[in-house]
Chain A
Amino acid sequence: MINILRYIIASFLIIFLISCDDNPTKTQNLKYNVALAFVIDADSLRQKALLTSVNSVDDEYSEYPELIDSAYFYVNNIKLSYSLPDFTKPYSRNHYYNYYSDSLYLQPGDTLNISIVKNDINIIGKAIIPGEVTITVVGRTISWTTSTNAYYYHIEIENEARTFVWETATNHLSVTIADDNFIQDEYKIKITSFDKNYFLYYEDRINQSGIEGAYGFFGAVNSTKIKAFIN
């Protein structure tokens, strides 16, 4: 009896000892030292990208990631220009990119390939521009048709006087405004369709989406705007 008990207790201890976890808290090296943030906006003439270095979290004093200049940055063989951003106005529309192009002519369904090269940097990526949608409004419900290659929709509405501004995001094809402050008026309605790359980044905050050779993402969006009375 005592022997059986000893055996059982010893078995417990052995299982317990061999089952202890490793605790891998050592710092992991970064795979890439560069990051790209690039969303093609089919509704815009100017396409803007931000290419920066990646800082390690183990740095004693965390600093602003450096901008990377002099890279050869192509989208479908069209070279992007370099522009020094003005980060003193971080929320200003035109001041937080360092590469841009006004020469890209885009159509829904177009496949875009990027190539970025500089010294040890070699980034490639691919994205497809989502299709446009047709918007209808019934009462306070805004509906739209499916956008090809789209995974997510962002909806913004505002009236002329900007006394009511509302936005939301969904993977469905309609939304209903359920806000007590809503005012009956004519509204500008904008539906922006996100492609898979940008959606995955947006939804899951993954390290890489649509690119290889760097952290970050390369995606595409397309917007449709109408004016309509909403009551």
Chain B
Amino acid sequence: MKILISLLYLLIATISFAKQTTEISGRITNSQTGEPIFNVSIYLVGTYIGTTTNEDGYYTLKIPTGKQTLKFYHLVYNKKEIELDLKKDSVHTLNIELEEIVLQLGTVTVQGKRDITTSNYIINERSIKNMPALAEPDIMRAVSFLPGIVQYSDYNVELNIRGGWSDQNKILYDDVEVYNPYHLFGIFSAFNLWTIGEVQVWSANFPAQYGGKLSGIVSMKSKPQSSKPFTKLNVSLIMANLALSRKFGDTFVMFAARRPYLDLLMALVGQTDMLLRMYDLNLKVSHKFSNNFAADLILFASNEGGTFDEGENNNKSESDSGNRVIATKFNYKKHQLLFSFFRNLLDGKDNTSFANNKFDDFNVKYFTELIYDNHRHQFGANYQYLHAIYNWNMKTVLAEDDFLKLNIPDSLYKISKFSNYSIWFDSKLFLSNTIQLGVKNIFYYGNNTTYFSPGISFEWHPHSKYRFTIGAERNYQFTTTGISTSNIFMVGNPIFILDKPISANIYSIGNKLNLGGGYNVSMELYYKNYDRVVKLNNDFENYPNFIDGSGTAYGIELFLEKRTGRVTYQINYSYLKTSYKFNNKNFNPSWNLPHTLKGLLGVMLGKTWKFNLSLIYRSGALYQKAIGYYKGIGTNAYEDINKYEIWRLEDHLIFDKDKYRFNPYWRLDISLRKQYSNKYFDWELYIQIQNITFNSNALEVYSTKYAKSTIINGKPGDSAYLPGLPILPSVGVEFTF
């Protein structure tokens, strides 16, 4: 029945209504330089009629006659609105000059597209570059400054979006999902900023084409094709980064590579106990075969390796892990076909010291869009084949090391496979000039079961500066890491394929107000209930074995930004309450930090100096407080000296069941940049300092006893106070040719 209703809806949705139209064309240029602007979005207000400029800045658009308002949007230019009164059979030419937003300091959000609603942000590459960074500008760290998003540990860029596990986020690189997108225990994300043109983030109202996750979507699109050659070299104290793009006729090539030299320096001074390496490579080749047909080849590899001393015997263990992406995308008119292969691997070279895990995600995706005056419809189909091999044999101390916290069995060999078919639609309809309705649904078919993932949204914009949105949706997710608990550090998590998906419903209500003068303010409320979530059971024999649970998350987000002028800033406050229930017991995850206040500030000093500041103030992390201890019969059979006695004497700690929190944590970061130019290239010198007051970000208490003696040594309150990020000035220089 549901399928019939949906088919009927699709039929109705494709009916268009004929109207008298005329054609308008023109060229859009930079008001200061006169250069043409590529990729400007142009559309008629209150309709879905729109287009974008080509590389020479030209556009052509068929629009209904009569009074119309045309809007011009671009990520790095101030938007413009033009009112027109168009008559039939006349030639209309409209050339526009747009003013470039030079600064992009102190805010990470931009309003580059008309579809941006609440729970949805676009981040500009320039903003990320200017933010104070930990040596290297990082996209995920920039995303963590958005409302409702928690980066629990300063050393781990895993994100918890609106109370969700970090594995509930879909991280997309040119529409290919990248799992475990992290470098060096999570300190950096795997993406090179200089290859990215736009980052879009959703925390609700997910587009149907990006379905399949419960909490968030971070979609990164590589830089748009430009005929202007681009070369960027960034050299910092720890890393070198090269990115370049060129256009040869109808072929566009983009290449980027980066690598830290910490391991080389350590080896040089004889410190070989733990050598960590990483690199990432990006290659994109695009070719335009005709005006209607183009194809992309996308290659991406991120890798880290390590050489670790294994102690007494002076053995060394090697490991490599990372991600590989090979994808081809074909665009024919409004049709898009994507073939992608993703591999996430953890490779303990000798199979004795680390998890070996290969996770493959093969996808074929079809996408098309139908646009009419007052309604637009996106349709797609997807075949996904997941294949995972879990193979490890961990016999060294590494497995027991609290530092890595690998909650996995010592040895395992298992293969999992899953085929998932889905078709979807996502439609938007203008019911009137001020009211827009959104309807979507995804039909999944996998493991002989069908799942429906519907969603509805309602938007009301009674004034061009005000927008009110309500949304409700149901989402499914077919994979989980199971052990991703936002630790201080992270290692590449095994990704498990679920027999039965986890699911959640999200309800959100929000509004946005443009106050003029570059000021925007928004407020949003949300409620998320998890029908089913899972966590790994402490049952290694049937590993991976999951316990079913449920949960809720709700919160409020307030956001204020000033986007123009020499001083720009944004402030946001998020309230979050999240809890999960397993075995009829509630627990609050570590990222349940009720209050978070985040701020960014940018100041342009003269024409060449830029000062940026970021501030985070948030609730202290939860911990369990040990209040007493006693001697009792033990429970842990695996550590027993006498293998035949499963209960033996050991220390027991008594925990206070009240919820304790560390002191609130706050962190202040700054950066200062000075730009120089000569006739061959521009270069920028920067110095950035993270956590300038060196505050401690206490996250956990180690309430462990010491097995050496039968006396608890020290106070069980012995805390693993993680020192804040070191006050390490990261100095570097960027060259742009």
Contacts and interface: CB of A to CB of B under 8 A. Distances in A.
B627 A12 contact: no
Interface string A169-184: 1111001101110000
Interface string A146-160: 000000001010000
A83 to B, nearest CB: 15
A12 B628 contact: no
A28 interface: yes
B516 interface: yes
Interface-central residue, A19, A28, A203, by most chain B CB under 10 Å: A28
A224 B571 CA distance: 64
Contacts of A58: 715
Nearest to B718: A57
Contacts of B714: 62
B186 interface: no
Contacts of B647: 39
Contacts of A99: none
A169 B635 CA distance: 12
Contacts of A30: 627-628, 654
A55 B643 CA distance: 29
Contact size class for B?
35 or more
Contacts of A38: 633
A4 B516 CA distance: 11
B648 A91 contact: yes
A11 B585 CA distance: 37
A27 B585 CA distance: 25
B388 to A, nearest CB: 17
Contacts of B629: 54-55, 57, 62, 65
A50 interface: yes
Contacts of B715: 57-58, 62
Contact of B517 (A1, A16, A37, A93): A1
A192 interface: yes
B542 A170 contact: yes
B132 to A, nearest CB: 22
A91 B645 CA distance: 9
Contacts of B635: 201-202, 205
A56 interface: yes
A169 B647 CA distance: 13
B631 interface: yes
Interface in B547-599: 558, 560, 571, 573, 575, 583, 585, 594-595, 597
Given A1-B516, A91-B641, A93-B642, A57 B626 contact: yes
Interface of B: 393, 411-413, 515-517, 519, 521, 537-542, 545, 558, 560, 571, 573, 575, 583, 585, 594-595, 597, 617, 619-620, 625-633, 635, 637-638, 640-649, 652-658, 660-664, 710-717
Interface of A: 1, 4-5, 8-9, 11-12, 15-16, 19-21, 23-25, 27-30, 35-39, 50, 52-58, 62-65, 87, 90-91, 93, 96, 154, 156, 165, 167-172, 175-176, 178-180, 192, 201-205, 207, 215-217
Given A64-B710, A87-B710, 5 more contacts: A16-B573, A29-B627, A54-B628, A176-B541, A205-B653
